[in-house]
Structure 1
Amino acid sequence: MLKLSKLADYATVLMTVVAREPARTHSGLELAERTRIPSPTVAKLLKVLAKDGLLESLRGAHGGYRLGRSAERISVADIIKALEGPIAVTACSAHSTDACTIETDCATRANWRLINTAIREALEAVTLAQMVQGTVAGGSRPPRPDREFPLVRA
C-alpha cells in the first residue's frame, strides 16, 4: 500500500490551519490545540517546515509562525518533500545515483518512473490554497464517493 507518513499528513493539516489565516502569527501551542496534534510533534513539524521556507518563524513576545510564501505558491508536494525528501514510489523512480542490483534485468523501471511522475505531478498540481478551500485542481469540488458510487444493497 502506498501511504503518506503520519508526519507528512500532520504537516499538511498544520499548513492548512495556518493558511486559513495567513496574516496572523500562530503559536505552536495554539496550533496543537486547534489540530489536536500533540504539542511536541507540532513543534518538530514547525521547525522542519520553517527550515524548508514553507513557514516563517518570528521571535519575540508576539512571535510564532506564518506562511513563508502565499498559499497559492505552496503545493502539497512541497509539504511532503519538506518532511520526506524527494517523492519516489520506488528507489529507482527517484533517479537515485545508488546502483540497483537488478537494473540490467528489470523490465519495470521505465513504468515505475512514469507512475512516479504522475503521482508527483498530481501532488504539485494541488496548492495549499486549494486544500484550504476544499477544491481540486481546476476549481471543482472533489467527488463524493457516496454519490459517485452508491452502495448496492442485495
Structure 2
Amino acid sequence: MNPITVRIKKLRGDAIVPRYMTDLAAGMDLYAALDSPVRLAPGQRLLVPTGIALAIPAGFEGQVRPRSGLALKQGIALVNSPGTIDADYRGELGIILINHGQEEVVVSPGDRIAQLVIAPVQQAIMQVVEDLEATERNTGGFGHTGKSLEV
C-alpha cells in the first residue's frame, strides 16, 4: 500500500494536523480549532472549525465521518455524513456537529471531533439512453424490501 501525499496548511498556530491513531486506521482524527469551549445543546447544530486547509490530489476526495465514541457516549453526529472534501477545495475544513443526545455537550479546543478518510474517486460520463438492461433486482426498491418511492 503506497500512501499519497496530502498538503496541509495550518490556518492558525494551534491547529492540530490530522493523524492516524493506530497503524491500520482508515481515518485520521480531526480536531476542533477553537479559542474557547463551546456548548452544544440537545438538537443544536454547530459548525466547528479545524484550523486547516488541504490540497487533496486529483483523483481523490476527503470523506469526513463521525467518531463512533462521540456518537455512542454523547449522541454527537455529523449532519452531512459523510461530508465530501473535493480535490479542488482549498478553504478551511469545518465540521457540522449535531447533538442527538439528551444532555448539553461541551466541545473544547483540541477535541477530536470527526474522522477524515482519503479515498479514490472516479468521475463518470452520463449517457442518456432509451432503455436500461434488466437485472434480477430491477426496480426492487430500497434495501430490497420492495418499498417504493411512493409517499
Q: Place the TM-score, normalised by the shorter chain, in its bin.
A: under 0.3
Ranked by relative contact order (alpha carbons within 8 Å, sequence separation 6 or more), the top structure is 2
Considering fraction of residues, name the structure with more strand: 2
TM-score, normalised on structure 2? 0.22
More helix by share: 1
